[in-house]
Amino acid sequence: MAGQLNHSWIERNVPSSIAEKQTHSLSASAVPGSISRDAGTVRITGDWLLSHYRQLKSLKTGLAATDLQGLRIDLSGLNRIDTAGASLLAALLGPERLLEAVSGRNALSQEKSALVEAVCRAMKDQPAPERAAPSLITSFVMGTGEKVESICRLLWILTGFIGQTLATLAWNLPRPWRWRMTPFVAAIHETGLNALPIVALLTFLVGAVVAFLGATVLENFGATIYTVNLVAFSFLREFGVLLAAILLAGRTASAFTAHIGAMKVNEELDAIRTLGLNPIELLVLPRVMAMMISLPILTFVGMISGMAGGAMVCALVLDISTTQFMAVVEQGIPLQHFWVGLAKAPIFAFLIAVIGCLEGFKVAGSAQSVGEHTTSSVVQSIFMVILLDSIGALFFMEMGW
């Protein structure tokens, strides 16, 4: 790059007398240029000419600009120099530093200073070389690595926040006078009572759809009575808790993120810390505890509503009365399926609440950031709920529960 400097530009910007001397200096020299460091000074000596370009290039290769940083530049030993030598010096020392050294008090003649200044200004204004676009495979590998790194970083931060929340919870549980009952009750009202109608309606409709699909398929085998088992088994074990958790992940986790994020934008979190209060204890624990109580209740409501929807379809389409439906459930569905489904609810609730609060703390301080982290909290919550439910289903199946 340096060696390819446009000589016509130099000729236009350097006086003709200097150009003549430069042409004269292009002749062979007996003393190639050298660089030495001594007592905080880098000394430039000898001839820096095109005829010694190979030797001078090896000097530049052996040294790095970082090795010469902070050292004073001494050009008093510089004998002769041309455009090629000046470009090598500028590439080695940096155009700004060399220009500063030439502009100050130095032992260079006016012609040498003008030449070096012209080369430094030309190299200083050159745009940075554009990197070649990576190949498709390289781009895919780089993108995959960046995604994996961001996921690992996200899991690391989430694990740390879960640990901080559990430590604060363990500290507060034996101290009832530190419990925040007012925000706890308000959070139960918001996350549980207000979500009850939509959870009941949603699971009722899904239960009706599952029963209708089951009846349509089982009718071909003359086994429509097993539609009852299908609806009861699916809602007691999976659908009841899963639908309630997904609904709360979209409804409540976003509300937690937006509320805490707005407090951070308004610097209310800084005010809480200034007053000596713990934001985890004040904002996170009431929400986490409220979710861990609300979601099991909503899960139970979802189970009942889903089976009610299935019972309605069985009564209207399959002529299976409600009494017969309940009798089949009582005789054919073990109680362990109910407990398996209900046991997942507190774990899902804890994760949803923690993710929603953590994304609120990560808001950067603008309305756009609040929206981005609200979306992120919903996506993360739903993803974690489905992931853990899949792992739990495999685990319980292998254990025979």
Please say if the pLDDT value at position 8 is more than 70.
no
Task: Assign 44 to helix, strand or coil.
Answer: strand
pLDDT at residue 167, rounded to an integer = 92
pLDDT tens readout for residues 180-217: 888 889 888 888 888 899 999 999 999 999 988 888 88
Phi-psi region of 161 (alpha: psi -120 to 50; beta: other; left: phi over 0): alpha
Please say if the pLDDT value at position 16 is more than 50.
no
Higher pLDDT, 19 or 302: 302
pLDDT at residue 15, rounded to an integer = 46
**Average per-residue pLDDT for the chain:** 82
Cβ–Cβ under 8 Å, residues 95 and 61: no
Q: At 128, is the pLDDT very low, low, confident or very high (cuts 50, 70, 90)?
A: low
**Token pair 């740390």 is at which residue?**
160
Give the Cα-Cα-Cα angle 321, 322, 325 (nearest 5 degrees). 90
Q: At 5, is the pLDDT very low, low, confident or very high (cuts 50, 70, 90)?
A: very low
pLDDT at residue 217, rounded to an integer = 86
For residues 341 and 239, give the distance between their C-alpha atoms in angstroms, rounded to a whole number. 8
Please say if the pLDDT value at position 289 is more than 50.
yes
For residues 251 and 202, give the distance between their C-alpha atoms in angstroms, rounded to a whole number. 14
pLDDT at residue 57, rounded to an integer = 77
Specify which of 61-65, 115-119, 253-257 reaches the highest per-range mean pLDDT.
Answer: 253-257
pLDDT at residue 62, rounded to an integer = 66
Give the pTM: 0.65
Cβ–Cβ under 8 Å, residues 159 and 130: no
Please say if the pLDDT value at position 312 is more than 50.
yes
For residues 188 and 177, give the distance between their C-alpha atoms in angstroms, rounded to a whole number. 19
Q: At 372, is the pLDDT very low, low, confident or very high (cuts 50, 70, 90)?
A: confident
pLDDT at residue 65, rounded to an integer = 59
Mean pLDDT, residues 17-31: 50
For residues 179 and 328, give the distance between their C-alpha atoms in angstroms, rounded to a whole number. 45
**Token pair 């289903």 is at which residue?**
393
Which of the 8 DSSP states describes residue 32?
A: B
Task: Assign 333 to helix, strand or coil.
Answer: coil
Lowest mean pLDDT among 78-92, 99-113, 244-258, 282-296: 99-113
Task: Assign 5 to helix, strand or coil.
Answer: coil
Distances 312 to 88, 224, 309, 316 between C-alpha atoms, Å: 87, 14, 5, 6
What residue ranges do the domains of the chain occupy? 34-125, 179-399
Cβ–Cβ under 8 Å, residues 341 and 396: no
Q: C-alpha dihedral over 259, 262, 267, 273, to 10 degrees? A: 20
Q: Which residues pair with 43 in a beta bridge?
A: 36, 74
Residues 6+ apart with CB under 8 A from 321: 315
Structure token digits, residue 242: 């899963």
Lowest mean pLDDT among 6-20, 113-127, 297-311: 6-20
pLDDT at residue 18, rounded to an integer = 46
User: What DSSP assignment string belongs to 88-130?
Assistant: HHHHHH-HHHHHHHHHSS-S--HHHHHHHHHHHHHHHTSPPPP
pLDDT at residue 162, rounded to an integer = 92
For residues 20 and 265, give the distance between their C-alpha atoms in angstroms, rounded to a whole number. 67
Please say if the pLDDT value at position 27 is more than 60.
no
Query: Taking Cα atoms as reference points, which of 185, 375, 206 lies closest to residue 293?
Result: 185
Q: Is 132 exposed, middle or buried (0-12, 13-18, 19+ CB in 10 A)?
A: exposed
Structure token digits, residue 43: 């000394």
